[in-house]
């Protein structure tokens, strides 16, 4: 053949080959998974952490006694226990006050120890003693002791309010009390509850760090609680920097810690000695980058497999090559406008004159049910869902979100009805409000556009009703916002709550109970009202009965009370979404882990 034709042949082969090679999009780094998140990890100590970023790490390094069935938060499966306690298999006894967990054998920790029932008891006891201020342990103190925290127990038993002040003898007494709740019986660990509590299993399930099992011997070596009944004072509520498990990990999970560069990056390696089949991924790397555009570019180039995305940028990613955007995932979250029934008017610029004189609002502005109802009728729920949330999500029907007990998609809710709003405004304060008008400032946390939009909507609608109604919308820094809330100075503020564990109790307490996180900020008159009108007792009753149908009735009633009395302005339940490369396989959504991913079943392949 002539030289030139050989050349042409070779060149065309090269061309064809290069095209075909390009046609099979290869998977970048098939054994390493890279995720880019926002924010930062608070702590690697599973008993300390209480934020989304940290819980993702805990969930892959540590394990609990039981876990959710994959993709279904209404069913449990055994994990470090060999069976899930139920009434049927006899592992729940004594009318729901005893839970028995047989512990699995042959499980090893990353640093070499073997799992025993002693480790399980130690893990829980250590956590109960640790009980850091602002941490998650109140969730377990409820079911196990009917208390709010360690300080309640110490006060009850030895009359000391601050556990750091316990003497050795007092500590031993308190310990004896704690000891009653958990015992080891052969290869089983037994939990004894004072009363039946249907939330118990949902609190200790995998996804919730406080149920993480740590290695007793290793932890003691690192400087965590030494296992002695007399040292509670030393190990109670340590500062983050003195927490021995803050940066060191030793769990039984499918991944182990390689390096943690605080605020920047964390790298996990596969645990090849995992008690189940080892994971398919060799490494997991999570980077923390706050700039959306940078994250997006890294995803497009394949340098990242999953990136965090704020819902509002959805329109930018719906049709990108190689990228999959999944939305409409269940999100256990309620966003609402919290109304303060007793506003502190002293030195408070947001109430303006502080009187019912047309130039401000009085302290009891939101105490009047007509005002609350009028505000509820003035919100443009449809536009919020369709425009602000792009149609993903729904109007909230009360404190309890879908799919929890008490949620009823046919329950009554407010709709935008400016005529009804006008009616209620006219009735408010015996007609005085309508004549004189008012001026109020609604605050939002700067940077939170959704909350600003909700506030703008109220302003837009209410100001149309009566020219004497004036609403100012003002953004303030988080520091000031927090201050206003704690000091009872805010008027109306949009805020939200995401589930810690899969039970409606986790919503009724903070929103409705007088001592709940938000109930606390709603002012004295709300607290009195909640107590006197049976709201508190109803919320408590919800966890005193175990029969599912009975509970459902109770929660439906609570949901209804929120509507009837317009206690707050319930606005929205968003959906969740995820943005990832299309070569990510094996992913299922876990609403409690939320943005976090359980990497055990994930692998990368082009399909």
Q: Is 449 in the site for other proteins (CB under 8 A)?
A: yes
- 98-102 and 188-192 beta bridge pairing: antiparallel
* Contact status: 38 vs other proteins (CB under 8 A): no
Segment near other proteins (CB under 8 A); pick from 13-21, 40-48, 177-185, 419-427: 40-48
**Among 98, 222, 228, 316, which residue sits at the site for other proteins (rule: CB under 8 A)?**
316
Which 557-596 residues touch other proteins, going by CB under 8 A? none
Strand 32-37, strand 283-288: pairing: parallel
188-192 vs 255-261, strand pairing mode: unpaired
113 binds other proteins per the rule CB under 8 A: no
Q: Please choose, out of 175-183, 443-451, 574-582, 596-604, the segment that lies near other proteins by the rule CB under 8 A.
A: 443-451
For 468-494, b/e burial (b = at least 16 CB within 10 A) is ebbbebebbeeeebeebbeebbbbbbb
Closest approach, Cβ 309 to other proteins, in A, equals: 10
Give the Å distances, CA to CA, from 292 to 36, 327, 482.
10, 18, 26
Q: Does 346 bind other proteins (CB under 8 A)?
A: no
325 binds other proteins (CB under 8 A): no
Complete DSSP assignment for 567-592: -SEEEEEEEEEEEEETTEES----TT
The Cα 112–Cα 277 span in angstroms is 18
Q: Count the Cβ atoms, other than its own, within 10 Å of residue 94.
A: 10
Maximum Cα–Cα distance across the chain: 105
Nearest to 182 by CA among 220, 152, 211: 211
**324-338 as b/e: b if 16+ CB within 10 A:** ebebeeebbbbbbbb
Alpha carbons 424 and 373: distance in angstroms, whole number: 7
Q: How far apart are CA 63 and CA 101, in angstroms?
A: 14
CB of 280 or CB of 287, closer to other proteins: 287
Cα separations (Å) of 125 from 122, 174, 213, 543? 5, 12, 11, 23
Candidate ranges 12-20, 219-227, 387-395, 566-574; the one touching other proteins (CB under 8 A)? 387-395
Q: How many positions of this chain bind other proteins (CB under 8 A)?
A: 78
To the nearest whole angstrom, how small is the minimum distance from the Cβ of residue 282 to other proteins?
Answer: 12
Among 267, 369, 416, 545, binds other proteins (CB under 8 A): 267
Residue 146 in contact with other proteins, rule: CB under 8 A:
no
Which residue has tokens 């949901």? 559
Q: Which of 316, 560 has the CB closer to other proteins?
A: 316
Q: Is residue 88 a contact residue for other proteins (CB under 8 A)?
A: no
Which of 69, 195, 240, 346 binds other proteins (CB under 8 A)? It is 240
Site for other proteins in 496-515 (CB under 8 A): 497-498, 510
Binding segment for other proteins (CB under 8 A), chosen from 96-104, 117-125, 224-232, 480-488, is 480-488
Q: Of the candidates 25, 32, 146, 222, which one interacts with other proteins according to CB under 8 A?
A: 32
177 lines the binding site for other proteins (CB under 8 A): no
Task: Give the span between the Cα atoms of 15 and 25, in whole angstroms.
Answer: 17
Counting contacts by CB under 8 A, is residue 317 touching other proteins?
Answer: yes
Task: Candidates 415, 478, 524, 547: give the one binding other proteins (CB under 8 A).
Answer: 478
Judged by CB under 8 A, which of 277, 321, 409, 607 binds other proteins? 321
Establish if 263 lies at the interface with other proteins (CB under 8 A). yes
Distance CA 458, CA 377 (A): 10
Q: Exactly one of 57, 73, 190, 285 binds other proteins (CB under 8 A); which one?
A: 285
Please pick, from the candidates 123, 287, 340, 376, the single residue that binds other proteins as defined by CB under 8 A. 287
Q: Candidates 9-17, 41-49, 219-227, 409-417 — which segment interacts with other proteins by CB under 8 A?
A: 41-49
Least CB distance to other proteins at residue 154 (A) = 14
363 to 382, contacts with other proteins by CB under 8 A? 380
In 3D space, the residue among 232, 177, 197, 190 whose CA is nearest the CA of residue 99 turns out to be 190
Closest distance of CB 265 from other proteins, Å:
7
């Amino acid at each position: 053949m002539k030289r030139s034709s050989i050349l042409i042949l070779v060149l065309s082969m090269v061309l064809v080959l290069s095209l075909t090679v390009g046609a099979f999009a290869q998977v970048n780094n098939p054994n390493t998974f890279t995720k880019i998140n926002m924010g930062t990890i608070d702590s690697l100590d599973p008993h300390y952490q209480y934020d989304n970023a940290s819980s993702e790490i805990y969930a892959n390094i540590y394990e609990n006694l039981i876990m959710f069935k994959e993709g279904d938060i209404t069913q449990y499966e055994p994990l470090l226990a060999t069976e899930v306690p139920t009434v049927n298999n006899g592992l729940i006894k004594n009318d729901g006050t005893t839970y028995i967990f047989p512990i699995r054998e042959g499980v090893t920790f990353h640093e070499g120890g073997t799992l025993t029932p002693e480790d399980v008891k130690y893990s829980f006891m250590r956590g109960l003693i640790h009980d850091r201020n602002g941490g998650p342990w109140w969730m377990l103190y409820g079911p196990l002791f009917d208390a709010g925290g360690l300080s309640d127990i110490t006060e009850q038993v030895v009359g000391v309010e601050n556990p750091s002040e316990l003497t050795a003898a007092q500590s031993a007494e308190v310990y004896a009390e704690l000891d009653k709740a958990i015992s080891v019986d052969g290869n089983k660990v037994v939990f004894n509850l004072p009363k039946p509590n249907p939330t118990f299993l949902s609190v200790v399930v995998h996804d919730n760090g406080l149920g993480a099992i740590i290695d007793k011997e290793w932890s003691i070596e690192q400087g965590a609680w030494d296992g002695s009944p007399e040292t509670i004072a030393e190990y109670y509520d340590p500062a983050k920097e003195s927490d021995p498990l803050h940066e060191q990990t030793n769990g039984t999970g499918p991944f182990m810690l390689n390096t943690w560069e605080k605020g920047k990056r964390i790298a996990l390696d596969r645990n090849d000695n995992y008690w189940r089949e080892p994971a398919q991924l060799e490494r997991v790397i999570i980077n923390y980058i706050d700039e959306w555009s940078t994250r997006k570019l890294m995803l497009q180039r394949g340098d990242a497999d999953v990136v965090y995305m704020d819902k509002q940028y959805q329109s930018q990613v719906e049709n990108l090559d190689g990228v999959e955007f999944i939305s409409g995932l269940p999100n256990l979250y309620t966003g609402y406008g919290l109304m303060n029934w007793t506003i502190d008017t002293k030195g408070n610029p947001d109430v303006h004159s502080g009187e019912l004189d047309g130039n401000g609002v009085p302290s009891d502005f939101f105490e009047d049910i007509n005002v609350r109802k009028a505000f509820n009728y003035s919100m443009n729920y449809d536009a919020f869902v369709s425009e602000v949330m792009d149609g993903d999500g729904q109007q909230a029907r009360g404190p309890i979100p879908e799919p929890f007990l008490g949620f009823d998609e046919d329950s009554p809710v407010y709709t935008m009805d400016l005529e009804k709003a006008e009616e209620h405004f006219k009735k408010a304060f015996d007609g005085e409000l309508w004549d004189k008008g008012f001026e109020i400032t609604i605050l939002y946390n700067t940077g939170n556009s959704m909350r600003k939009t909700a506030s703008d909507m109220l302003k837009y609608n209410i100001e149309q009703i009566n020219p004497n109604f004036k609403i100012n919308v003002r953004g303030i820094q988080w520091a000031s916002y927090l201050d206003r809330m704690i000091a009872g100075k805010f008027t109306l503020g949009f805020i939200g709550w995401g589930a810690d564990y899969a039970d409606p109790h986790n919503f009724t307490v903070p929103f409705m109970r007088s001592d709940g996180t938000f109930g606390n900020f709603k002012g004295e008159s709300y607290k009195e009202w909640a107590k006197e009108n049976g709201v508190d007792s109803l919320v408590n009753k919800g966890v005193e009965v175990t029969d599912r149908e009975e509970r459902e009735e109770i929660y439906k009633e609570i949901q209804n009370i929120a509507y009837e009395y317009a206690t707050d302005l319930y606005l929205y339940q968003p959906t969740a979404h995820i943005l990832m490369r299309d070569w990510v396989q094996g992913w299922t959504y876990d609403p409690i882990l939320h943005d976090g991913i359980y990497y055990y079943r994930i692998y990368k392949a082009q399909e």
